[in-house]
Amino acid sequence: MLRNRKALFRRSALLLPILLLVFATFLYLYLGLPAGPGDLETVIYSTAMGSQEAAATFKFEFVPGFFKQSEADTNPDEFDNAKENFGIIEREFETDDAVTKHWPVWRRLHRYINHLNNQNRPLDIFYKVLYFGRHGEGYHNVAEAFYGTKAWDDYWSKLDGNGTMYWFDAHLTDVGKQQALAAHDFIEAQLNTTTHGMPAPESYYVSPLYRCLQTANLTWGNLTLPDDKRFTPVIKELLREVLGEHTCDKRSTKTNITTAFPDFIIEDGFSEEDLLWKADHRETHEEHDERTKELMTDIFSRNPNTFVSLTSHSGAIASHLRVFGHREFKLPTGGMIPVLVKATRSS
């Protein structure tokens, strides 16, 4: 009798994993099987990062009328953040009163957005001002300019370097470092409460690629910031540049990143090796935008802060603007753009 029970237990132990696999397959098939390579990578990433927990669905849209970069008549090629107070539009807000109407526009904007969030949070509507920063010039940028975009895309981008220059997980050039330091000086002037009074970010997110880690450190690292807004960067895997083929967009190992940037926080579930980059597939706009939506859903779901800094890439910033319905606004290396984003939770 005891022998039969042991045999039955062994069969049950073998059967349980099979049943779990069948059940998981059913969930993927009927609750959202990935349709393409990018979606599959997202599922793999989400599972590895432990973010498959009843994720909310958001609609993201930029809010016009607050920043000149969002206006159709603003020329990106001629726009100067330093001369334009980072693009904020001088305007009145419904929260202005006899006293606050004399405050600097950034301070009044902060008050107004707090009002919007307090008023709309019960409706599952949330507002954030996102400060996007593109990394400074990297060695891959120099190589593409030297060889030309076609030769770069067809051949050179698939190599780690050319013998004299190395661009795998590209680092900043000396010019790129100076661009990041120039961004530091610009932000320092913007945060000055006696002039512009721009609110400091309450959260800092950074792409794991080396050039962005360098840029974020040089831009934000030595600023005098309020105690509750210290530069405490969090590395986010989904904030990366377009995935695949180009070796400059393949990241270093987690160990190397931690060694080089020990003060940066790496999000939970971050893999040792790069699991997203594929040598034979370049991420499409549609795939990238799905990744961006997942990132924004994560940030809006988990982070209550209003002013958020994101240091990333030209392609990543372009993807965010597409997801928000914002006009295209190309940034030079080291460039920045603010966007007021409204997120409406639908489930």
Active site residues: 135, 241
- The distance from CA 256 to its chain's CA centroid, rounded to whole angstroms, is 21
Structure letter (DSSP) for residue 327:
P
Alpha helices, DSSP H only, in 167-284?
Answer: 174-191, 210-220, 254-260
- What tokens were used for 40? 């599959």
Q: What secondary structure, in 3-state letters, does 106-169 show?
A: HHHHHHHHHHHHHHHHHHCEEEEEEEEEECCCEHHHHHHHHHCHHHHHHCHHHCCECCCCECCC
Among the listed residues 188, 61, 81, 190, the one whose alpha carbon sits nearest the alpha carbon of residue 128: 61
**Residue 67, SS3?**
strand
Distance between CA atoms of 163 and 342, rounded to whole angstroms? 47
Beta strands in 36-124 (DSSP E): 58-62
